[in-house]
Chains A and B, each alone.
Chain A
């Protein structure tokens, strides 16, 4: 007798894609052999679902008639599978139009058959009209318009697409019919984060990017493209959106486009979906055209040795593959797919799409302190980073001097693209890792008050001097994707241009830093931690026993600021820690997800709990600080997800006991610290050689042999060793820990320390109360030199 349960379980435990499809195919074979019709249908439905969502949709199109035939010849399946049959049919309708291999006649027959079955089961024709309209938009706009009206006349039911998908569809139709204003009005619930699903807002952003790109509004296109990129991240499912992004980057950021292209080329090569392939090929063609143009203009070679290009069926030379050939390849691919789809559809829709041109439009520069554009999910428009440097009272530096310093001190890993001055300031552009970083430095005489708090080691005296000096050097920088790295670059630039500086104030997070701190951060990129990129601001009222807390600086990364509402005088310190912890995790991930979606983690009594955020309610008590503070309207309120629902963190009983909380460490932070230890190893060496010390130690990364690696299932052991001496610039240390995985090493064994092995270090100067780390040692050495 045929038993399905073990097969269902096995399938459920197999990875999505080809592996799972193979498991399902095996289950189909067994069900067929046993003539178990119920399961013959069941597993075929699973195969179609898997093909549609995780493999090749064309396989689903090919196997669907078999599914239908089983359903139709076995009426006993109706109770359990009429839903699945209609659901599979809907997927087939959606997907078959993407394949030119499916004739127009067949598509029309499919629609009629689907309609007949909907009527038979009393199902609304809403989906039928919706999908048919989508298809006809590429075939016959008038007929599409009629379907669209019919769609809105049908009631929603359980077979309908979700609300977010329907709103996206409405917006898409409005754009196709040329009504941009109406499209944006319709899309508002999506853009405001009120509606979302697995594909929305991703596809909405992609569609708006595409629209503005060819409507000649590159600013808007770049804005939506940025959001689209963050949501799609090169996922195979969104290959068409990736194509749109490539087209966008061909116009606004070819380097970023090149990286995205390399990331997604394998997905393109594996994709069998002609419509998605066409969209990618079109974007790739436009990108290659730009890259070839830039290289030719600069007299550079148009050849590339990027290994990923080897997947393309193009001639390889010693110089690599010619991007001219790559460009022409994608041109042909896009045209051929477009022609075939148009031929099948009897229209010129794709020919028109491919012949569109991107018209760059010059816009007036936006004010740097412009307010965020509009609230969008967890993300929002980036605001520029503004740093304010202070020099000693008697020192001033001209733009020309600064320009000379920039030219003389170009970092090794950067290419100076631009360095000009005029009466307004100094303008510097570096290219790093294919990305351009722009800075504008202006000197302003102002006695305007600056909101800031001295942090780290900035002395009160220096801070007072900084605030009192009316000559202020403002560095404006537009932050790219890797915000942490750019903070390091900005500090590095300030150190190059203004080595005399006594401190720097970050106007966004309102932190004031000492000159040593700035130099340290400018020298070691791994020293910049997520917490450096934002500050916390608290407002309290003892009478009301209320404290309001907000982050300052997340907006620089294009993320909403987060607030804690209704903390009190007892718990505000812990709430500040919790907000700091939550915000650091957001910065680490570079992204805040949608409203009411889990993010970040905190351990309460060893149980993981997630944070969420909600928009500020309109009905806050009018006399509360949360209602009265002039905070950013797009800010989110930090919430905690509990079994009972979502709670304000400050009101959650779960967070009432500080001792039950564990903030945990992220891997990212762990690796950052290791990187910092390696980078600052020369500081340890210098300190050991020039400062009397009581003790010093290093934590060493020691590699396991292949045999031990297999036995213990890890490859690197970290062991502490105490520094014994420094000779001829080499550190020697005695091992203070041993490991089962490294049986050849014994306690007190003397090792030569390779700086590349250092995963952590400490240094205890003579007379000091406790050991110090890299940053303090750096200060100490600077002090000694001074």
Chain B
């Protein structure tokens, strides 16, 4: 009999990401061989968690149906509070991750949400997290539905499946800015800015919303104010590729050398990334930067450092590659969503003048 508890503790010895995922995959295999229902569940959960936060979220989407099937087939897991709680947490990550992949259709995503809601109801949980995640998805699909979900989200109580009070305010910031209500967004920011509530991605995620909003509305000084505060927090961390994309677009216009440094520092990670949503934002920002570099080619030579696999590729080629990626990804997402939100962001990052 394998000591699975001990095995689980060894995961920490591995680096986050691929190395740890490989170790967990082996553990899943062991647990499957020994038919240890409990560990079949927990190792898949571990794998899913690692994929969400430090790996490729697509792996999470692949492993999730297995996790769900094991839970649904075994009443002892269903009767266990910790297994049920963890399953709902995993489901929360999945409804958040699924929209990041354009190959997953809107119908499939709606299906995930439908099932998530049903399970939250069954376990007498608040629908707060359901409405929050659905609002986030529908902000780029149907703004009215997003609005409805947002107001329901405000009405629902927070519970142990919810994302916590800090993200409750962050969500408000994002929604209010999406509908152009800067005043309410600033009100919602206050508890976060004053440190009353905190989450690990603050301020970068929240401030990024302000950067985007001020860019859309042509208030570049204000956009710079927030951008300059988060640049050092996001660069180097692939989790924030979407924010880097926004910052590169802004800096391409206001401080090109800074945008070049950000590109050089993070381009290699971008090439490795398998998350289409993060890649799309990065590609959009990089495309805007390379548009600027084509006007000032001396900056390309002076500031851009390329990774080994791209060494020697010229400005024109790189620019064309980035535009091709940005165009393709925005098209895929917009087609799936039935809107042109991302295309507009790509073509008119500072709003239509």
Residues of A in contact with B (beta carbons under 8 Å apart): 2-5, 8, 12, 36, 38-39, 42, 79-80, 83, 121-123, 156-160, 643
Q: What separation, in Å, do the CA atoms of A4 and B151 have in the docked complex?
A: 12
Q: Which of B123-131, B218-226, B228-236 contacts A (4 or more CB under 8 A)?
A: B123-131
B253 to chain A, nearest CB (A): 30
Nearest to A8 among chain B residues (CB) is: B151
Query: Do A5 and B145 contact each other (CB < 8 Å), given the known contacts A156-B124, A643-B196?
Result: no
Instruction: Report Cα–Cα, A73/B104, bound state, in Å.
Output: 28
Whether A83 contacts B144 by the Cβ 8 Å rule is: no
Q: How far is the CB of A601 from chain B (nearest CB, A)?
A: 18
A5 B179 Cβ-Cβ under 8 A: yes
28 contacts between A and B (CB under 8 A): A2-B144, A3-B144, A4-B144, A5-B144, A5-B179, A8-B147, A8-B148, A12-B151, A38-B145, A38-B148, A39-B144, A79-B114, A80-B148, A80-B149, A83-B117, A83-B121, A122-B118, A156-B124, A157-B123, A157-B124, A158-B120, A158-B121, A158-B123, A158-B124, A158-B125, A158-B127, A160-B124, A643-B197
Q: Closest residue of chain A to B110, judged by CB?
A: A79
Tell me which residues across on chain A come within 8 A of B113, comparing CB atoms: 79
Bound: A2/B148 CA distance, A? 14
Contacts of A121 in B (CB 8 A): 118
Query: Within the assembled complex, what's the spacing in Å between the Cα atoms of A5 and B181?
Result: 11
Q: Which residues of the other chain, A, contact B25 by a CB distance below 8 angstroms? A: none
- Is A158 touching B122 in the complex (CB atoms < 8 A)? yes
B196: A residues at CB distance < 8 A: 643
Within the assembled complex, what's the spacing in Å between the Cα atoms of A226 and B144? 48
Minimal beta-carbon separation of B313 from chain A (angstroms): 45
Contacts of B123 in A (CB 8 A): 157-158
A79 to B145, CA, bound (A): 11
Beyond A36-B144, A80-B148, A643-B197: 7 further Cβ-contacts under 8 Å?
A: A8-B148, A39-B144, A79-B110, A83-B127, A122-B118, A158-B124, A159-B121
Residue B143 is within 8 A (CB to CB) of chain A in the complex? yes
**CA–CA, A79 to B120, complex, Å?**
14
Give Cα A559–Cα B117 distance, bound, in whole angstroms: 43
CA distance A643 to B195 in the complex (A): 11
Question: Shortest distance in angstroms between B100's beta carbon and chain A's nearest beta carbon?
Answer: 20
Contacts of A159 in B (CB 8 A): 121
Distance to closest chain A CB from B189 (angstroms): 17
Q: Which residues of B contact A160 (CB under 8 A)?
A: 124
Listed residue (A36, A79, A122) with the most chain B CB atoms within 10 angstroms of its CB: A79
Interface core residue of A4, A12, A121 (most chain B CB under 10 Å)? A4
Residues of B within 8 A of A8 (CB): 147-148, 151
Q: CB within 8 A of B145: which of A3, A80, A156? A: A80
> When chains A and B are docked, how far (Å) is the Cα of A486 from the Cα of B127?
50
Interface string of B115-159 (1 = CB under 8 A from A): 001101111110100000000000000011101110100000000
The interface residues of chain A lying within 8 Å CB-to-CB of B118 are: 121-122
> A119 to nearest B CB, angstroms?
14
Q: Would you call A157 and B122 a contact (CB within 8 A)?
A: yes
Most buried by A among B117, B121, B145, B149: B121
Closest-CB distance, A156 to chain B (whole angstroms): 6
Q: In the complex, what's the smallest C-beta–C-beta distance from A596 to chain B, in angstroms?
A: 15
Residues on A with beta carbons closer than 8 Å to the beta carbon of B147: 4-5, 8
Give the distance to chain B from A117, nearest Cβ to Cβ, in Å: 14
Q: Which residues of B contact A36 (CB under 8 A)?
A: 144
Nearest A residue to B147 via CB reads A5
Distance of A292 Cα from B197 Cα, bound (Å): 62
Provide the bound-state CA to CA distance between A122 and B72, in Å.
15
CB distance from A120 to the nearest CB of B (A): 12
Kindly report which residue of chain A lies nearest to residue B142, judged by CB atoms. Answer: A38
Picked from B120, B121, B127, B143, the residue with its CB within 8 Å of the CB of A5 is B143
Alpha-carbon distance A415/B334, docked complex (angstroms):
82
- Chain B contacts of A39 at CB under 8 A? 144
Tell me the smallest distance from the CB of B77 to a CB of chain A, in Å.
Answer: 16
- In the bound complex, CA of A39 to CA of B147 (Å): 11
B184 CB to nearest chain A CB (Å)? 10
Minimum CB–CB distance from B190 to chain A (whole Å) comes to: 12
Report the nearest A residue to B144, measured CB to CB: A4
How close is B153's CB to chain A, nearest CB, in angstroms?
Answer: 13
CA distance A3 to B179 in the complex (A): 11
User: How far does the alpha carbon of A156 sit from the alpha carbon of B149 in the complex, in Å?
Assistant: 25
Q: Measured between alpha carbons, how far is A157 from B197 in the docked complex, in Å?
A: 31
Of the listed residues A2, A12, A157, the one surrounded by the most CB atoms of chain B closer than 10 A to its CB is A157
- Which residue of A is nearest B143, CB measured? A5
What is the CA–CA distance of A3 and B122 in the complex, to the nearest angstrom? Answer: 33
Q: How far is the CB of B220 from chain A (nearest CB, A)?
A: 27
Measured CB to CB, the closest approach of chain B to A340, in angstroms, equals 37
Chain B, residues 193-218, CB within 8 Å of chain A (1/0): the string is 00011000000000000000000000
Min CB distance A233 to B, Å, is 25
CB-CB < 8 A to A122: which residues of B?
118
Closest residue on chain A to residue B131 by CB atoms: A80
In the complex, A36 Cα to B179 Cα: how many Å? 20
- Chain B, residue nearest A160 (CB): B124
Q: Which of B114, B125, B151 gathers the greatest number of chain A CB atoms within 10 Å?
A: B151
Give the contacting residue for B144; candidates A12, A38, A156, A158; CB below 8 A.
Answer: A38
Known A5-B179, A83-B127, A643-B196; contact A42-B121, beta-carbon cutoff 8 A = no
> Cβ of A643: which chain B residues have Cβ within 8 Å of it?
196-197
Instruction: For A123, list chain B residues within 8 Å (CB).
Output: 121
* Cα-based distance from A156 to B145 in the complex (angstroms): 29
Q: Which residue of B lies closest to A5 (CB)?
A: B147
CB-CB < 8 A to B110: which residues of A?
Answer: 79
Q: Inside 8 A of B121's CB, which chain A residues have their CB?
A: 83, 123, 157-159
Q: How far is the CA of A160 from the CA of B125 in the complex (A)?
A: 11
The closest CB in chain A to the CB of B154 belongs to A12
B148 neighbours in A (Cβ, 8 Å): 4, 8, 38, 42, 80
Which residues of chain A come closer than 8 Å to B144, judged between CB atoms?
2-5, 36, 38-39
Chain B nearest Cβ from A749, distance in angstroms:
46
Q: How far is the CA of A473 from the CA of B132 in the complex (A)?
A: 68
Nearest-neighbour CB distance to chain A for B1, whole angstroms, equals 35
**Cβ of B124: which chain A residues have Cβ within 8 Å of it?**
156-158, 160
- Contacting residues, chain B, for A3 (C-beta < 8 A): 144
Q: How far is the CA of A39 from the CA of B142 in the complex (A)?
A: 13
Q: Please, how many angstroms separate the alpha-carbon atoms of A310 and B196 in the complex?
A: 54
- Smallest beta-carbon distance A620→chain B, Å: 28
Cβ distance A518 to chain B, nearest Cβ, rounded Å: 49
Bound Cα distance from A2 to B147, whole angstroms: 13
Q: How far, in angstroms, from A160 to B121 measured CA to CA in the complex?
A: 9
Residue of A nearest to B118 (CB): A122
CA distance A575 to B122 in the complex (A): 46
When distances are taken between beta carbons in the complex, the residues of chain A under 8 Å from B120 are 158
Q: Distance (Å) between the CB of A34 and the closest chain B CB?
A: 11
